[in-house]
Amino acid sequence: MKKEFIGLVLTTFLLTMSSTYPTHAEAPPMNFVIIQETNLYSEDDGGSNHLGAISPYQNVQLAPNSPFSFYDKIGPEDWLKVQTWLGERWIRDDDKVIYGFFEERKSTLTLLNTVSLFNQPDINTKTNLMLAPQGILSTSTIRYGPKYVINAMSAAGQAGTWYQVDTWLGPKWIVNPALMEDVHAETIDFKLKLMGSETVFLTPYEQDGKGEILESGTVQAIAKWQYAPLPANVITWYKINLPQGERWVRPKNETIEIKSKS
């Protein structure tokens, strides 16, 4: 895959996760999220007095015709030329800047797994606090991508979403949680033959020690959910009826879908 194509895919991916999707083939301007107060400079050397600052959390776009590459590793003295209310200005491309898009939007989410809480959308701000599976209120999101790309696989593996959530300690952040709202299962009605023993769960999320062992055999499947977290890596979950109730299984062994003849 050519670098030019990967760059187009990444640029479109990082920006079009906002509420507005472009209808033309040209890639939109590169967008960045300021997550900590960031100074503005007239030159890309930091030698001059800063001309102002951008407070979190805000989106800024790369200035037109500015130098930019996904394929150069970010160094401590790298800079980005962005559009601001003061015109085109320079900011440091450091850990105060995320490549992605910030959006304020309230939504109710259902956690399927236990998640860590962060003070900021930065893995270095992890607290020792956790949220158990439950319903939560999210007030903002940051959909992000990588700062350095080797290939399409690495780009997909470094992309995800931060959610700002209300907690008993005030606003905190969680990253890439398993959410019931992301489960888009299709209704099915056929027998599923499991060729080996499997582990079944109450939700379509694997949790150590929370599953039940199901021996090989034939079960009734009522829903199917497939998604690809990485290219060429399709994950399949089945919702099945068992004597103890409905469960989800992600088969590790071979399966056979036994559909009735119409």
Q: What is the DSSP string of 151-216?
A: SHHHHHHT-EEEEEEEETTEEEEEES--BGGG--PEEEEEEEEESS-EEEESSSS--TTT-EEE-S
- What pTM, to 2 d.p., does this model score? 0.80
Q: Is residue 149 part of a domain?
A: no
Q: What region, left, alpha or beta, does residue 137 occupy, with left being phi > 0 and alpha being psi -120 to 50 degrees?
A: beta
Q: Of 112, 69, 63, 132, which Cα lies nearest the Cα of 237?
A: 112
DSSP state of 138: E
Q: Is residue 232 part of a domain?
A: yes
For the chain, the domain total comes to 3
Position 28 pLDDT exceeds 80: no
Task: Give the pLDDT confidence score for residue 132 in this predicted structure.
Answer: 92
Position 125 pLDDT exceeds 90: yes
Quick count: other Cβ atoms within 10 Å of Cβ 254? 9
Q: Are residues 118 and 189 in the same domain?
A: no
Domain that holds residue 168: 104-139+159-181
Q: Select the more confidently predicted residue: 23 or 148.
A: 148
Quick count: other Cβ atoms within 10 Å of Cβ 237? 21
